[in-house]
Each structure stands twice: as C-alpha cells, then as structure tokens.
Amino acid sequence: MKRMLKNFVGPAWAIMEYGSYPLLLLISTPWFLHQLGTDQYGHWMLLVATVSFGGVLNSGTGAATIKAVSAGIGGSITGQSDRAINTSLAIAILGGGALALIVFCLFWFGAPVILSRMGDPELVRATGIAAAVLIWIEQLDNVFSSAMKGAEHFKDAARIEIASKTTQIVVAAIVLYEFPSLEALYWTLLTVAILRLLAKIVITKRLLTLTRFRPSFQGSSDVLHFAKWGWLQGVGGVMFGAVDRMLIGSMLGASSLTYYAIASQLAMQTHAVSAAGLSVIFPKVSRKLESGGSFSLSSFTRITTVGNLVLSTSLAVAMILIGPAFLHFWVGPESAGPASLLLPWLVVAYWILSLNSVSYYLLLGMGRIRFISLTVITSGIFAVIAAYFAIDNIGLIGAPAGRAAYACISLALFIPVLQHLRNERNEIPDIPTINSVPGGERIS
C-alpha cells in the first residue's frame, strides 16, 4: 500500500503545481477586472498570450533537459546533469534574448498597425516591453524547472512554483489596490519572476549536487538533436495557445479578448488538470527505458488512460453544467454573458485534447519527439487557419474553432503508441525509439 501511494506523490505535486495558479487567478479575476477595467485587463491577457510565445523555445529546451537528466540518472552517466544544464542555459540565453528582441521590435514599431484595435499605442508598447523581458526570464527559469523534473524532484519543483505564483498574485493584488495601473502590475510581475529564478538556481544546484553553472555550447549536439524537434512542437503549441488570442485582439479588440480569456481560463481545466498529473510519465518512462531493465508499457498505459478519461470527462461535464452559473457569480453578468456563449465549445475542444495526454507523455519518454513535433505543427497550422476564417466570418463565437481543429488533428498521437503496444503484445522487438538520447547511448 505504501509503495502504491508513493506512485501518486509525483502526479499529486504536479497537479498542485499547475492547479494553484489557475485557482488563484480564478479567485482574483473579479478584483483585477475591477481595478484594471475591461480594456486594461485585455492588455494583461495580451501580455500573457505574448509571453506564451516563449513556449516555442521552452518546449525544446525543457524537453531536452528533462530527457538528458533522466537518461543520465537511469544510465548512471557521470556529469550528465551538469553538461545538460549548462548547454540548455547557453541555448536559453541566446535564443531567449533573440526572441525577446523580436517581440520588443514588433510591439514598439508595429503597435499602431497590427494592434491598433487594442487602443492606446503607449499601453501596447509597455505590454511589449514587459513581455520581452518576461520571455527572457522564463527561458532561464524553464531550464532549472526542467532539471528538477528530469531528476523527478516534482515535490521541490512544485513547492517553489506554488510559492512564487502565490506571491505574484497576492503582491499584484495589493499593488493594484494602491496603484491601479498596468505599469504597476508589470513591474510586480517582473520583480517576482526574477526572485523566482534566483530561488530555482539555488535549489537546483543543491538537489542535483551540481558544481557550477557555466553556459556552454560544448557538447551541445546531443541536446540540440532532441531540442530542435521540441522547438518545432513549440511552434505548433503556440499556434494553439496564443495565436487565436492575438487574432482576437487584432481583429475584434481588447474587450473581446477579455471575454475569450475568461472562458478559456475556465474551460482549459478540462485538459490541464489531468495533463499536469500525467507529466510525471515523461521522466519515469525515459529513466526506465535507459536503465536497461524489463519494462512493459501495456498495463501502465491502460491504468493511466482510464484514469485520464474518467477525470477529464468528469471535469468537462461539470464545466458545461455549472460553468455559466459560475461565470455569472465569478465575473458578473456583463462579462459572463459573452464568456458563457464560448464556454461549452471551448470545453469540448479541451476535452478532445485531453484524450492525447497519455500518448503525448509516453512518446516523449520513448524519445519519439520528431513524430510529436510533426503532429503538433500540423495541428497548429490548421488551428490558425480555422480560427482566422471562423473569427472573420462569425466573430468571437467562432474563435474556439481553432482549438477544436488542433485537438482533433492531434489525435494522431495515438498511432505510434498503439503500434508499440501491439508489438509488445505480440512479443515483437520494438523499433528504435530515437537514434540517441542527449549525452547517452542508443535506445533500441
């Protein structure tokens, strides 16, 4: 019994890490809406959408770091964690800086053109500056979070994330009481982000008994081999999570973006809660495969799939049944009306996406990052096309079409998992998962 309960510790901490921030936002949204107003709140959501473009780099660098650290532990490869983190830091500094510069230039010079419907160009530029700095900080932060998760220190990663995100929301709420402006909010977000990064550096160094952090591209080919496909996947992920918001902001304006963000914030829990718990699959499967021992995915896959289906379906049904009433209580009838119309369509899209969670993390652990990336980028392209034409033709109510298109096409992630399980059942040796793991030996 004790061993069985131990298996739930990692997922429980992962869910708490994810769930704490949305819960705090859920509670505090009426306050932020009241202090900022609909338009300024829309600018904040534009900031959130823009920072999520950093996911393009995070997906590759983070996945490569988790893979390298977990494979190094499984294969007892000396110095693997140090090399992986130093390489990832170099990539994060260079790539994050380049992306931050692009975001800054787009907002500074393109604000009057591409985001004219967002209102005051000066507010748009301030949003761009804050987003650029946060993107760079997030790239570095992601390296240390991924290193802890690769070593399966989910409890420690979750604790610092929960503490920092709680601090961020509480301090921002207090600051807005005295200074209800976007500038005050942005300074608060930046300060807390820097403090969170410093804390993760200290904790990661202690947990993984690392010598020192020295960003270096030496021996980076193995990490880059895995990361390049993760970056492609990140592009598709951003197309899913951010482009529709950018389209709404540029085509419909700040108020529409606010309504869509409110509905999405509630609907996304259908997928995100179970996905957070299942994220522990990635390093566990990677370590098991690299250790060279016998490891069957069949029973593991069945249990996690059934659990995921039950949890995500329950959440979806609850969102559809009580979501509209909750929105009226949560943000008031003025904002709840438009958001309630969007909610059921977004819930269905996220429920379909939740069906992919087990396959996604299994494939990452098996090293099938290329297949994931090609599937995600294809899904993302169709998502952007669907969102644009739907918004252009029927307005805000058409915005969920992009996320629905992404979710449906990404069901293709089931294909290699089913092939692997069929081969395992027939006792046919599985095909090689990847040519190599970062810093390790060939997996076959």
Report pLDDT digits (tens) over 284-336: 777 766 665 555 667 777 788 888 888 889 999 999 999 899 888 877 888 88
What is residue 52's DSSP assignment? Answer: G
Give 138-158 pLDDT, tens digit per residue.
Answer: 888 888 888 887 777 777 777
Environment class of 421 (CB within 10 Å of its CB; exposed 0-12, middle 13-18, buried 19+): middle
Is 125 in contact with 108 (CB distance < 8 Å)? Answer: yes
Determine what percent of the chain is predicted with pLDDT higher than 70: 78
The token pair that represents 360 in the structure block: 């996604």
Evaluate if residue 347 carries a pLDDT over 90.
Answer: yes
CB environment 252-264: b (16+ within 10 A), e (fewer): bbbbbbbbbbbbb
- Mean residue pLDDT of the chain comes to 79
pLDDT in tens, 47-95: 887 887 776 666 667 767 777 777 666 655 556 667 778 888 888 888 8
Structure tokens at 168: 């961020």
In whole angstroms, what is the distance from residue 353 CA to residue 140 CA? 28
Contact between 312 and 270 (Cβ < 8 Å) = yes
Query: Measuring CA to CA, which residue among 198, 207, 219, 211 is closest to residue 84?
Result: 219
Domain ranges of the chain: 15-425
Q: DSSP secondary-structure letter at 45?
A: H
pTM of the model: 0.63
Closest CA relative to residue 388, chosen from 195, 191, 248: 248
SS3 439: coil
DSSP string, 272-305: HHHHHHHTTHHHHHHHHHHHTS----HHHHHHHH
* Cα–Cα distance, 167 to 423 (Å, whole number): 49
Question: What is the H or E stretch that residue 141 is in?
Answer: helix 121-150
Residue 316: CB atoms within 10 Å: 22
Nearest to 151 by CA among 59, 63, 293, 283: 283
Dump the DSSP string for 306-375: HHHHHHHHHHHHHHHHHHHHHHHHHH-HHHHHHHHHHHHHHHHHHHHHHTTHHHHHHHHHHT-HHHHHHH
d(Cα 37, Cα 42) in Å, to the nearest integer? Answer: 9
Residue 312: how many CB atoms within 10 A of its CB?
24
Cα gap 264→271, rounded to integer Å: 11
pLDDT grade for 442, boundaries at 50, 70 and 90: very low
